[in-house]
Structure formats: structure tokens, C-alpha cells
Structure 1
Amino acid sequence: MTETRATAEQTTAADRAAVRERAEAVLRRLAGDHAVLREDQWRAIEALTVDRRRVLCVQRTGWGKSAVYFVATALLRDTEGAAAGPTVIVSPLLALMRNQVEAAARAGIRARTINSANLDEWSEIEAEIRAGEVDVLLISPERLNNPDFRDNVLPGLAAETGLLVVDEAHCVSDWGHDFRPDYRRLRTFLAGLPSRTPVLATTATANSRVTADVAEQLGDALVLRGPLDRDSLRLAVLDLPNPAHRLAWLADHLDRLPGSGIIYTLTVAGATETADFLRSRGFAVASYTGQVEDADRRAAEQDLLDNKIKALVATSALGMGFDKPDLGFVVHLGAPPSPIAYYQQVGRAGRAVEHAEVVLLPGREDAAIWRYFASLAFPPEDQVRSVLANLWSDRPTSTQALEPLVDLRRNRLEMMLKVLDVDGAVRRAKGGWLATGEPWTYDTARLRRVAEARATEQQTMIDYATTTACRMEFLRRCLDDPEATPCGRCDNCVGPLFDAEVSAASVAAADAFLGHPGVVIAPKKMWPTGLGAVGVNLKGKLAAGEQIEPGRAVGRLSDLGWGSRLRALVGPESPDASIPDDLAGAVVEILKDWAHGDDAWALRPAAVVAVASRSRPELVGSLARHIAQVGRLPLLGTVEVALDGESDGRGNSAQRVRVLHDAFTVPPAVAAELPGLSGPVLLVDDLVDSGWTMTLAGRALRRAGAEGVLPLALAVAG
């Protein structure tokens, strides 16, 4: 019999009753005088504080998972004082950490957080921990693999931890909908815990497969899985014909939705456009994406908490960790790629109100966006092997130094390295990454299974949008909830909850907003770092006489308005064809705005030159001819490109420059015309991705005598 089991048997029923009474008292401090522990909440607290077990709670959002670990913390600290050690909560987002610190204070619990936003406080917090003055320490999963923290703080912290809490524990599993490699570093933390240290893992979004995976990693865990119905949520789906109608529906119905809420979009561009449009229609909203500064995100969060705004328009950056119990609605412009992710996001609403509205407005472009994000998954084996081949075992290589040597962009490279770290093939050290020399196998079969599971989830999300059965029951079955039954609240159970009609005025306004073309192409001014490592002798600033000027494109591939039209034209499977009339008209409108807007070009273009295209010569050529004809400008010809091998244009900047830096030539007939021009050249291409094709083709024109280069493209990636 283990020590834990023996201790549990020696605890009498009276002792357990006394612990429960104290637990109820702590809960009342946390949640009010009338709060009472749910039975599974008590079972979890009892297992943690009396039996010192590991517990996995899979319970719906709003069930009270945070109450379990705050009450358990208070009991452990009351019983053992500072000797109990702090509760360590691994939490995924800063928003959640801020909410948790405030909640802990209500229960008289002293909580601190270590994250990337408070580096200057780390030493002070560590001293407070050593002095026994911290009851709860919240850390981000990324801290677990920070070399200094992992080597110098984590071992001592693991030895002293009184309770380990893994919030949003589905992230531990690569089957989970939001797998984060840093979470897998918890294995190291778990291995360093003393034998009787209790562990609590919590999530609201784990099906049976993810639950089993997380429970196995915890080891000998008590799994408490409850029904996942949310009786305050009323689910509805509206099938509207296009993005303009979806924005118009929001403009017509947002005031009718209760309280304040969240509008989710699939892309950063979608969030920005939606927020801008709603503000133009008089609504107080704010955008919340990974590209918004942290201070602005904090301000937006607080404005929503204080009901100063009607909605946050957010990407999945707000998917976890935002706690506003009276959130009245969640609307999705576009469907997430997984019903599990969808359930998790809509679970933010209706936690402390009788009714909350949940509306999905799916788009025909959703599947294309899902495919794009899926293409950024774990890289192919040859790219992984290339990374391993460029690492040393005795001196660290930084991600920045490694990037020029492999054809992967920074965020994808970092994700891959974290996975390799968990697998033992590399190790993060101060200054970069080390090869461990341990044997490593590319697990093709597992990656295929995960990809197939993702594809199944995407189809299931399509099925959710089109089902005629109960929507809540559908979601609960996706999460393997054995108690799933019809909810009697959703649009399929009781009939339509919302009118799909939109006003002509709102549609016209949305059409005008989304139909206005024009985004800026920012010029490159600095060469990528590390080019010397790939044999390219370029560094620092681009010479002033070789730079191009700010340019224009019709739109981004991720735009709500032009995005689907542009993807159909310049996507990898799109056939080459002449410029369609609607795109030709949009380009003319851009040129008019460019000539007369607040940021108009300094000099009118004097000629047109095209970038020679191997994939879409007719599209680019016809666009250049049309511009020359409409603008009554001479079409000088093309900048020619000669490449060794194939390139899909989606590599990192250093690799793009390596491939392209000497690939462009200006034909003599074109070069002969450049010195005599009275203004810049308009350089035409179909798609701008990394920006280096335009930059280096423009550089070739500048070196051949062009006074300036104004880039113009149909689309910008992203």
C-alpha cells in the first residue's frame, strides 16, 4: 500500500467532514454567503487536500474549476502554513492570470504572477516565494522552457510546490484543439514534485481521447468528468450569402443582443475590418488580436469588463482565459475549424446570466482559411532534418541565426524546435538551441493521424452548421458527453431565434466598406540578418538609391471583402487568365486614390513595368497592359527573373533573399528607357507575400536608372 493510500485510510469520516466545513467557509469568502460546493468540487478538493492525489477535472465552463484550486490552496496553507509551499498554476494567457489574481484576493489568497510582461518583478517575487509570502504563483507555459527559469528556478519551485494546477489542460495533448508544445514541459515539472504533492488539471474542452491522453500523462489520476450542458446558452446558426450580409446583420442586430459580448473572427484582418465597420455604424467596439499591443489589449479587456463597449472583436487570441461572468453573447463571423474549439469559445458567455445568445455566421471562405492554417502545421521531415543538421551540441545557435539556414518562417521554426525539445532531440539553452545527439524519428504515422483528426473536426464543424438536430446535443456528443440530450433552447429545438433579414441600408454600407480596395505595401528598408551565413554579402540598410517606395494592393487574401475573390484568382490552384473586369476596375480606383489621397505619391508614374511571372504570365501581363492603357503610360516590358530550382515564395526572408538577390535582370530595351523618364516606374505583380520579390525587382530597376519604383499588386498574403 502506498503512503498516500495509507494516509487516506487513516483519515476518519469526521476528519473529512471537518475539512469540508472549512472548505465551504473558504468558498463563501470567494463566491458569496450563499455559495455551496458542488459534489464533484468537494470530491476534487478532498482528493487534493486529504488524499494528496492527482485529479483531472473535465467540467463545463462556469462550473467552478478555479474555486477548487483556490479552496484547496487555502486549506493547505491554513493547515501547514508556509511549509505547504505555494500553489503553482500553469495558465495559458495573461488575461486569465489577471482575472485569477483578482479572484484569489477575494478569498484572502496572496497571488503573484511570473510572465513576460513583468520581468522587472521576477527577483522580488522569487524572494517572496522563498520567504513563504506567496500562496499562489501563476506562470505561463512558456516560462517552463525558458533556460534561466527551467534551470535555476524550476527545480527549487518543484521541490517546494504545495499544489500544482494545470489550467486549460487540453493543451497538454497534441490531440487537443490548442496544442502548445511548452505545455509538454510539464512532464519535467511533474517528475520533480515530491511524491505526495497533489496535482489538479482542469479543462472544459476535452473529448474522451484527449481526456485519456492527459490522464495518462498525469499518472494515477482521479478523473472527474461532468455533464457539459450550458443551460444559459441559446445556440443559433444563420446562413447569410456573403461577408457584406454578415456585417450588415451585425449592424442591424448588435443592439438587440443582450449586454456586452465577443465577436470572433478567423483572421486578424477580419477582426480589424469588422471593428472598423461597426465603429463606422456608431457602435462602441474594440479589436483584440495577437497584433494589438499588450497595453491596448488590457484596456480593451477592462472596457468590456466595465461594459464600456458593446463587444470585443477578437481572434482566438481571446479564446481562453477571459473571465466575464455576465457576458451576454458570442457571435462568430466564420466557423472555427473544430466543434471543440467552438464549444470552448462560446463557453465564455452566460456564466452568471439567465440567457446568453450564441450565433454562428459561417462563411463559404471558412474552409480555405482552415486549409491555410493547417498548412502551417509541423514541417516535413526534410525541413526538420535540415534544422537538426545546423545545430551544434557544444554551442547554442539562436533562432535568429538558425533562420537564414532553413526555409521556415520564425514562428513555425520556433514551434518545431519546441516539439523537438520535448522529444529530446534538441535542448533550449541560454543563447539558443543545442543538439542533444539523441536519436530522433520523424513520426509520420502520428502526424498523419493528427492531420486526419483535424480534417474530421473540420467536417464535423460543417455538419454542426447544417444539422437539423439539437445544436447543444451535437456539441456535447463531439465532446463525448454521455449525458447529451436535446437542450430545448437552440434554434433547431424551438425554431428560429433571429431574423436573417438585413436592411438595404446596412447591406449598402457594408458593400461600400468591403468593396473599397486598397492596402499599403510597406517597403523593405533593412536586409534580413544572417545573410552572410548563406553566402549573400548584404547586411544593414538597403541603400537609399536602391529602395522602392510604399505601394498598393487591392486587398489581403484574408480580407472579408476582397479576400475570397483574390484567393480564387491568385491561389496555388488558380488557372492563369486575363484580369477580370471587377479587379481591373478596383485597380483603377486604387490609382485614383493614390493620386489624390492624403498619402498620394510624390510624382505621378511615368511608365509601367511588370515582374515576369512563371505561374501567371497572362494575369500579370494583362494587368500591366490595362494599367498602361488607362493611365496612358508607356509599357516598357518586364523585369526578368532566373531562378535555380523551384520556390513557393513562402519561406523566411533570409531564404527568399538568398534565392532572389541576383535573380532579376532588366532587359536592355527597358533599361534604355529608364534614365529619360520624368517620374517613377509603376512595378506590377500579382501577389506580395514576403515582399522581397517586389523589393529586389525594384532594386534592379533602381540600379538600372529608374528614378523611383512604386509597387502595385492585386493581393497581399496574410
Structure 2
Amino acid sequence: MKDTELRLEADAVLARLVADPTGEARLRDDQWRAIEALVVDRRRALVVQRTGWGKSAVYFVATALLRAAGEGPTVIVSPLLALMRNQVAAAEEAGIRARTINSSNTEEWEAIQSEIAEGTVDVLLVSPERLNNPDFRDQVLPALTAATGLLVVDEAHCISDWGHDFRPDYRRLRTMLAELPAGVPVLATTATANARVTADVAEQLGTGSPADGSAAGHGTEALVLRGPLERESLSLGVLRLPDAAHRMAWLSDHLDKLPGSGIVYTLTVAAAEEVTAFLRAQGHTVAAYTGKSENAERQAAEADLLANRVKALVATSALGMGFDKPDLGFVVHLGSPSSPIAYYQQVGRAGRGVKHAEVLLLPGREDEAIWRYFASLAFPSEDQVRRTLDVLGAADRPLSVPALEPQVELRRSRLETMLKVLDVDGAVRRVRGGWTVTGQPWKYDSERYAWVARQREAEQHAMREYSTATDCRMEFLRRQLDDEDAAPCGRCDNCAGPRFTDEVSPATLEAARGELARPGVEVEPRKMWPTGLPTIGVELKGRIPAGEQAATGRALGRLSDIGWGNRLRPLLTPQATDAPVPDDVVAAVVDVLADWAKAPGCWGTGAPDAPTRPVGVVTVDSRTRPRLVRSLGEHISQIGRMPLLGTVTYAEDVPSAPVARSNGAQRLRALHGALTLPPSVSDAVAEAGGPVFLVDDFTDTGWTLAVAARLLVRAGAQRVLPLVLAVQG
């Protein structure tokens, strides 16, 4: 087929893809250049273009042309379920048969594999996690790689740990790329990559360097298309408000004035839930979308926003990549992301198919504390990595993550991420049943990890600059992404003047303050011992007997809350001075106790079968804040007119250093045998003969409360009711 005929056919596919009944849709010149490189020249290409440019059109049109030429199916590695759902729907519009293999449709995998073998699938979307699933990697991937007609790596910046959204599973693509038959084209796409990330992605994927146009690895030069990142529909602005209550009140007062429907981003799950509850109470139709939402809830929320049945989704970064709603009219951030690249990626969801969209940042004073928390989850220290490798090396069988977790001082999520990095580096391998060491030499790349940490700090500094900038905001973001064409946009609040005032109605502000000031969150008790405790010398396993569990407790708030979290963080930071509980916090604790007593099935309900009223207070010994915890216990004792029975202490032979807050199993090993109930306290609890409050400053893993509760129950407490100032998270 001649190039002119191929171009006409490509435009026809595009018209079907965008549902253009006139058939007049035309590919942009750079879109056609990429398609031509893939279909005609069978090259590798890296496309770095702004959100809304039409990167998905490139791979769907290329797929249709390659399939018409008799080539195998396109494999798209895509990071998010939302992105997959959008892409499957888009493919169907163009008559392209698309299927997906991911964690939410395991029951369909066998049928999909049969369809691929029969040649009835044009596009297979695969989550990056699948690439290192032993069964998929060993049984499905080799045949799929051999049959692939086009490999697409979507959101390719995830392959680079220099970038803001690194995902170790993406690094497995190097193996697949190395095993692709000669001449199979490869397309990598992203909208959020500066020059450093772009170069790293090009190197990882064998698509050459944008600077030198080096070869793609199959004997032909790669094509790199990097376009300007201007978003002509977006009007950027920053509005600095006094506190979280003002921000929530402002959003409620102005939400209906924002164009169309949109997204309200928060930095934490707790904040998303708080804001959603408040906006609903104010009469707004909104839904929450977080990493903790069930898959069905997420799908329903996406569908409601796409159909404009809700004014906004209140979302965390779980809705960051891939959600495609062309007429999205606004993006508001309640709290600043830590990276300008991440921020550009998130605001890029708006204004893709409309002429004007509002983008507004409402920074908060809690932002930097949240940045520091997430920064603390960086790649583990060399000692922790070496310990993990030693444990795996000494094992006589593969170890699952739950089996490995008790033997290393890492929480499960960090352990899993570390293992994936080590897998890519060749030090470990995931097999059926768990992980094993490979025996290959491995070097801790401290220089690289330190550089990445410095990069994160530089990004945080850039976001501080963005929020206070007096020059063009879009130009600022484009320069952060190394866009050589960056220029003043003429639309942002610094170019064209502010479009919003900081005014909020007194009634809404009062309601917001009331919402944020409302104290009290439940503290769920631990019900199962961590897996693998016997392997580290702790003979506990299975379910904690119901009679030895703590009851559901209460906390004043979460440290990640935008309400009480802001008040509690200064009290509980490691640098805080140990002092008695402030009066306002005591008053809030009184409110928590009053609400708690009214809860169904509680002691204050007056029901015939209600539990006995608490008869005493026991505190937990604190190595860092003894005055704070002691005074909290004393206040509760006075408020409830019940005796302070004593303190759960640490055994005398236990080192005085604080117990490390690592994963649950390690935390429990450190506490088991360390926490003890002095005889005088045990006697007092037995003599009191009823439920007791167990008081501590805050809870993280929950194991201190669980171990202390077990001691108190065994001493004769009828129930143990944990009460803490804060919950971590």
C-alpha cells in the first residue's frame, strides 16, 4: 500500500476512533510521523507530548493498520485500571477488539488467552505487575512476545526512578524488549517527563537518546517526538487561604460556579474522605475516589463523573494517570503535590476537549509534613537490603512476602517494592511460592538513591516557588518539564489577573470549622497475629482469641487529617517538647468520650444488655512523651471519675531506646516480653473487676495496644477500651 493510501486509511481509522460522523478527522503531522515509523519502517519511537495531544490515537491507528497487514496483536502495558477501561472503550469505537489482563479480572484470563491464540484479539492491555507474575511470565509472556505485532509502553515515565511516579514493575519491560523478534515496532508514550526522565526512559526501552538519536537496537534509528507542553485551555491559579476550614468553605461556596464537572485532589485518603463528607453535607453531589476504594466503587465513581452525574470526584493520586474525560472543566487541589511534574500530570486531566478549564491550587500548611512522610518511604538502607538478601539466601525454599516480612524490619509495601527493584537488578527472582536469591553479585547504588532523594527535594522547592510565583504559572511548569518553547500563557492569574476572590460565607466557614473540629475516629483492634511469628521465636499464630482482643477504640484524629491532624502533629513530632496535654485537646477528648458512650452497644446507652461502664484507666509507658501520656490518663480519670490504676511498663532488662516502628511482625517481636504489667497494676485491675480504658499518645501498627490489652484481659479486665490522641495514616 502506498503511503498516501495508508495515510487515508489511517485518517479513516481516526474518524471511527473519535466518532466523527463526517469522516473529516485528520491526524496531526507528528501523529502521522509516529504511525509511519511504526507501521512502515517498523521502528521504535518515543513520544513525549502533552496530555490531550492524542497519543492513544497513534497506537490504536497503528494497531488497525498492522492488523490489516496480518501482524499479531498489539500489547499495551498500561499502569491503571481506569486507563485500561477508557482505552478498551476507545478501541471498540474504532472497531478494534481489545481485552485486558489485570488483577480485577482473573476469572477471564484463561478465556482471553484462548482468544489471543485464535487471533480474535487486536489489543491486549496488560498491567505492569503481570510481567513479573511467575505464571504469566513463564507460561503466557513467551508466546505473547513471539506473536506481538506492536509493543506499546503507556505512561512510560513510570519506568524511570528519576521521575515522580516510578513503578519497579515497569523495569521488567527490558526483558520483554530484549526477546521481541527483530522488526517488531515499539512505542513509548508519556506526557510528564523532563529531559532527564526522557533520556532515562529512552535508555531503558532501547528507543535511543533524544540528544543524539542513537540506534534503537534493531539496526535502525529510533524516532523521538517531543512536543511543546502548552495547554491552551487551562487557566492556572493559586489561592492562599488561612487554614483548612477556609479552604473547605471556599470550595463549597464556589464549587457550583466552576465550569462543568471536575476533580478535587487531596494529598491523603483521610482528607479525601473528610472533604467528601463535608461537601455532601453542604448539598453537593460528589464522590470519593482513593486507593482504599473498592474496585466496584471506583468504577461507579468514574462512570458518574463521565456522565456528569456528580459535580466532582474528590480523589487522591489514585486518579492521577489515565482517566479520560475530554470535557472535564476543572481541577482543584486542596493541598500541594510535592512535584511540579506530578502537578502538571494531574491538572492535565482537565480541558482536553473544551476551550476553557479552571485549574486552582489551594496549598495548606500541612502539605510539607505529608511530603516528609512520603519521602520517608524511599528505598531502604543498605543494611535492610542486605538483611533481606541474607534471609532469602539462608532459606531452603522460596519465601513469600508474608513469610519474609517477620524477619526484616520493613513494612509489606516497602518490602514488595524493594524486592521488585532487586528483581530488576538481578539479585532476586520471583518464582512460584515466593522469592529466591539468584546468587548474582549486587551493589547498593547509594549514589543513585541519594541523587533521587536530592531530586525530590528540588521538586518540593519548585512547588514552593510555584505557589508563590509572580510570573506566568504555565511557563513555570513547562520549564520544570524542560520545554524549550515555554512562554507566558496570558491566561493564568499572574498573566491575566486573579479570577477568584478569597471570600467565603460566614455560615459555610462555621460549618467547615465544625466539621474539622469534630473529634473522634475509630481504632480497629488487631484480630490476627502476623504471619510467621514462630520463625522469629514468638509462639503466636492465627486469630487472636476474642476474649484477648482489645475493643474497638477511639482516637482524637488521624495525623493525616486536615482538621485535627494539623493540631496533633506538632504535639507528636519527634522534636516536640514533652508536656501535659493542652486544654483544647482535653476538651476534645471529653467530646470523644461523650460520643463514644452514645455509640450502639456502648456503656452509655442505657440498654439492658449494654456493657458495664469503664471502672478505671491504665496508661502505656512512653519512652518519648511520658508527661503527655500520664497527663492524658489523669484527665480521663478525673473526667470519668474513675481511678488511675497504673501503667503498662517495659521490663527492666529492655533497652531504654524506643521500640522501632517497623512492620507488624518486627514490632510485635520487640514488644512481646518487653511490655509487662507490674503486680500492683495487675492487682488493681483484678480488684476493679470491669472494663478499663487503655491510654496512649498514638497508634501506628496497633500492636502496642494489642499486647497491652492482652495483658490487661489476662489480669482480669472485662474489656479493654483503647483511647489515643492520634492514628498514624
1:74 and 2:64 are equivalent in the alignment: yes
Residue 395 of structure 1: CA displacement? 2.5
Residue matched to 2:539:
537
Residue 647 of structure 1: CA displacement? 4.6
Distance 1:603 1:716 in 2: 26
1:608 and 2:610 are equivalent in the alignment: no
Q: Is the contact made by 1:164 and 1:199 (CA closer than 8 Å) also made in structure 2?
A: yes
Distance 1:716 1:69 in 2: 46
Ranges in structure 2 where 5+ consecutive residues have no aligned partner: 207-215, 217-221, 604-610
Q: Is the contact made by 1:164 and 1:200 (CA closer than 8 Å) also made in structure 2?
A: yes
Q: Is the contact made by 1:394 and 1:434 (CA closer than 8 Å) also made in structure 2?
A: no
Equivalences for residues 157-236 of structure 1 within 5 A: 157-219=144-206, 220=216, 221-236=222-237
Distance 1:157 1:694 in 2: 50
TM-score, normalized by length of structure 2? 0.95
Residue matched to 2:28:
38
After superposing the two structures, state which structure 1 stretch, 589-598 or 198-207, moved more.
589-598
Distance 1:335 1:210 in 2: 22
Distance 1:641 1:433 in 2: 36
Residue matched to 2:635:
626
Residue 649 of structure 1: CA displacement? 4.2
2:38 to 24, 48, 66: 48
Residue matched to 2:357:
356
Residue matched to 1:117:
104
1:677 to 678, 688, 704: 688
Q: Is the contact made by 1:649 and 1:689 (CA closer than 8 Å) also made in structure 2?
A: no
Q: Is the contact made by 2:623 and 2:657 (CA closer than 8 Å) also made in structure 1?
A: no
Give the match's secondary structure for 1:89: strand
Residue 108 of structure 1: CA displacement? 1.0
1:85 and 2:65 are equivalent in the alignment: no
Distance 2:228 2:514 in 1: 46
Q: Deviations over 1:641-699 (max 9, x none)?
A: 13347455421111111111211222222222222225311111101111111111121
Residue 543 of structure 1: CA displacement? 2.7
Distance 1:429 1:644 in 2: 39
Equivalences for residues 95-494 of structure 1 within 5 A: 95-219=82-206, 220=216, 221-392=222-393, 395-494=397-496
Aligned length: 702
Q: Deviations over 1:432-466 (max 9, x none)?
A: 00100001111100000000000000110110000
Q: Is the contact made by 1:265 and 1:271 (CA closer than 8 Å) also made in structure 2?
A: yes
Residue matched to 2:608:
none
Give the match's secondary structure for 1:127: helix
After superposing the two structures, state which structure 1 stretch, 387-396 or 116-125, moved more.
387-396
Equivalences for residues 12-23 of structure 1 within 5 A: 15-23=2-10
Q: Is the contact made by 2:73 and 2:147 (CA closer than 8 Å) also made in structure 1?
A: yes
Q: Deviations over 1:149-207 (max 9, x none)?
A: 11111111111110000000000111111000000000011001111010000000000
Give the match's secondary structure for 2:2: helix
**CA separation of 1:476/1:648 partners in 2, compared to 1, >3 Å: closer, same or farther?**
farther
Distance 1:487 1:264 in 2: 24
Q: Is the contact made by 1:30 and 1:106 (CA closer than 8 Å) also made in structure 2?
A: yes
TM-score, normalized by length of structure 1? 0.96
Distance 2:474 2:410 in 1: 40
Distance 2:112 2:598 in 1: 56
Equivalences for residues 512-551 of structure 1 within 5 A: 512-551=514-553
1:27 and 2:14 are equivalent in the alignment: yes
Distance 1:122 1:672 in 2: 60
> Which 4+ runs in 1 deviate beyond 6 A?
none
Q: Deviations over 1:260-317 (max 9, x none)?
A: 1011100000111111110110111110111111011101110111110111111000
Residue matched to 1:3:
none
Residue matched to 2:721:
710
Q: Is the contact made by 2:614 and 2:692 (CA closer than 8 Å) also made in structure 1?
A: yes
RMSD, aligned α-carbons? 1.2
The amino acid that maps onto 2:587 is: G
Residue matched to 2:670:
659
1:61 and 2:61 are equivalent in the alignment: no
**CA separation of 1:432/1:691 partners in 2, compared to 1, >3 Å: closer, same or farther?**
same
Give the match's secondary structure for 1:391: helix
Residue matched to 2:704:
693
Q: Deviations over 1:458-493 (max 9, x none)?
A: 110110000000000000000000100000000000
Distance 1:214 1:355 in 2: 32
Distance 2:685 2:657 in 1: 30
Residue matched to 1:6:
none
Distance 1:645 1:632 in 2: 33
Residue matched to 1:638:
647
The amino acid that maps onto 1:62 is: G
The amino acid that maps onto 2:72 is: G
The amino acid that maps onto 2:149 is: G
Q: Is the contact made by 1:576 and 1:619 (CA closer than 8 Å) also made in structure 2?
A: yes
Distance 1:605 1:285 in 2: 40
Distance 2:704 2:436 in 1: 33
Q: Is the contact made by 2:615 and 2:643 (CA closer than 8 Å) also made in structure 1?
A: yes
Residue 704 of structure 1: CA displacement? 1.7
Distance 1:584 1:242 in 2: 22
Residue 321 of structure 1: CA displacement? 1.1
Residue 589 of structure 1: CA displacement? 0.9
